């Protein structure tokens, strides 16, 4: 090892080691010595602690970024599912309206069909009772005529009535034309 003596050449003679009574200079020298020792021994540990802390912080930031990306993806998926659910709900609502309309139309058609059948039944019933009433009236008239004819036959024919009957049959006979049949 080689010492550089030129540093000692510049020192004034007669001054050397001794007690420095200036407290400020002493404190500065002591502080510089303490800082140098702290930096040399604690500096490396502090640097490694800061590096570890930096790595932890970066890891936490990356993890938070990944969680945020995952959350964004889940949000995107949830929005897509919401839109799909909305479209399904709209489709179901429209289908329900269509089915309801069809059911109403079916009910109206069935009602109209029943009404037309009831109208037919009503007409048939009216026609049946009209025919029955005509038949009863016909039977009544015939029975009255027959009873009157029996009375006439039982009481005997007078000359006026005899003349009317004969004229009736003569007129019918003159109207008879065998070529028309």
Locate tokens 């959350």: which residue?
A: 71
Rg (Cα) of the chain, in Å, rounded?
A: 68
Locate tokens 């008239």: which residue?
A: 141
Q: What is the pLDDT of residues 121-132, one digit of tens each?
A: 999 999 999 999
Checking if the pLDDT of 21 tops 90, the result is no
Q: What is the pLDDT of residues 83-99, one digit of tens each?
A: 999 999 999 999 999 99
Q: Say what the pTM is.
A: 0.39
Checking if the pLDDT of 137 tops 80, the result is yes
Q: Are 21 and 27 in contact (CB under 8 A)?
A: no
Q: Are 112 and 121 in contact (CB under 8 A)?
A: no
* Cα angle: 36, vertex 29, 21; to 5 degrees: 160
Lowest mean pLDDT among 22-26, 72-76, 87-91, 127-131: 22-26
**The pair of three-digit structure tokens given for residue 24, joined into one six-digit string:** 């400020």
Which pLDDT belongs to residue 5?
46
Q: Calculate the average pLDDT of the chain.
A: 83
d(Cα 76, Cα 9) in Å, to the nearest integer? 79
Lowest mean pLDDT among 21-35, 47-61, 154-168: 154-168
Helices and strands in the chain: count of H runs, count of E runs: 3, 0
Which pLDDT belongs to residue 64?
93
Which pLDDT belongs to residue 2?
46
């Amino acid at each position: 090892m080689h010492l550089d003596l030129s540093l000692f050449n510049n020192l004034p003679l007669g001054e050397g080691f001794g007690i420095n009574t200036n407290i400020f200079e002493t404190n500065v020298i002591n502080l510089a010595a303490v800082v140098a020792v702290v930096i040399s021994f604690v500096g490396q540990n502090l640097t490694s602690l800061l590096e570890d802390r930096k790595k932890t912080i970066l890891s936490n930031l990356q993890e938070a970024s990944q969680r945020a990306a995952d959350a964004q993806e889940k949000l995107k998926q949830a929005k897509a599912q919401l839109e799909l659910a909305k479209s399904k709900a709209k489709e179901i609502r429209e289908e329900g309206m269509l089915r309801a309309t069809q059911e109403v139309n079916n009910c109206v058609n069935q009602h109209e069909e029943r009404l037309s059948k009831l109208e037919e039944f009503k007409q048939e019933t009216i026609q049946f009772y009209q025919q029955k009433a005509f038949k009863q009236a016909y039977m009544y008239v015939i029975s009255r005529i027959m009873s009157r004819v029996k009375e006439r036959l039982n009481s005997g024919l007078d000359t006026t009535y005899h003349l009317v009957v004969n004229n009736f049959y003569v007129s019918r006979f003159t109207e008879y034309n065998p070529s028309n049949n």
